[in-house]
């Protein structure tokens, strides 16, 4: 089946961009991120889209961006943290090489802090993150070919564990 070499899923701040770019380098392919595609197309930040149009409108843009990237991109692709909420998107991920990057709540708070660029974590990030993960954990696990815990590992270590888990060879 054609499609990206690796699709990265996981919650905000888990390291999809950092590890995704490392994996792309090591595999000798390009890196792409659907959040960046949405921002480029809309000409606004994700926080602005949430505020101006609401989450539902953002999810509609996201669904389209993910479908397009899964068709067009053959390298490493990071999906927005909430893209797996959509059942059609989860169907599209069946048969793809999907890496779920995981972490616990304390690590999440350390990494994302109070960064307002992530609108879903803008208020009480620890509680918000727990609730998001309760709703999403099984969805991430359901689409995953492999799950890699990122806690206590450097991005380089995470990328090595991921290559091993997915049985991918470096370029």
Ligand X SMILES: Nc1ncnc2c1ncn2[C@@H]1O[C@H](COP(=O)(O)OP(=O)(O)OP(=O)(O)O)[C@@H](O)[C@H]1O
Ligand Y SMILES: O=C(O)C1=C[C@@H](O)[C@@H](O)[C@H](O)C1
Where is the binding site for Mg(2+), in residues?
17
* Given 13, 49, 65, 76, the residue binding ligand X (CB under 6 A): 13
- Residue 66 touching ligand Y (CB under 6 A): no
- Residue 125 touching ligand X (CB under 6 A): no
* Given 45, 153, 165, 166, the residue binding ligand X (CB under 6 A): 153
- Residue 155 touching ligand X (CB under 6 A): yes
For residues 113 and 159, give the distance between their C-alpha atoms in angstroms, rounded to a whole number.
Answer: 23
Buried residues in 26-39 as b, exposed as e (16+ CB within 10 A): bbebebbbbbbbbb
Residue with Cβ nearer ligand X (5 or 118)? 118
Nearest residue to 99 (alpha-carbon basis) of 4, 1, 37, 10 = 10
Residue with Cβ nearer ligand X (75 or 155)? 155
- Vertex 111: Cα angle to 69 and 82 (nearest 5): 35
């Amino acid at each position: 089946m054609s499609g990206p070499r690796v699709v990265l899923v996981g919650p905000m701040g888990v390291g999809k961009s950092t590890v995704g770019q490392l994996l792309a380098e090591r595999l000798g392919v390009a890196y792409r991120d659907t959040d960046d595609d949405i921002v480029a197309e809309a000409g606004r930040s994700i926080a602005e889209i949430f505020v101006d149009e609401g989450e539902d409108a953002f999810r509609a843009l996201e669904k389209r961006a993910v479908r397009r990237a899964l068709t067009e991109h053959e390298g490493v692709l990071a999906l927005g943290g909430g893209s797996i909420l959509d059942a059609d998107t989860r169907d599209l991920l069946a048969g793809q090489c999907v890496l779920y990057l995981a972490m616990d709540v304390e690590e999440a708070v350390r990494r994302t802090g109070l960064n307002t660029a992530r609108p879903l974590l803008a208020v009480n990030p620890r509680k918000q993150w727990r609730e998001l993960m309760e709703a999403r954990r099984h969805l991430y696990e359901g689409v995953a070919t492999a799950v890699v815990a990122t806690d206590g590992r450097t991005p380089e270590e995470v990328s090595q564990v991921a290559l091993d888990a997915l049985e991918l060879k470096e370029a």
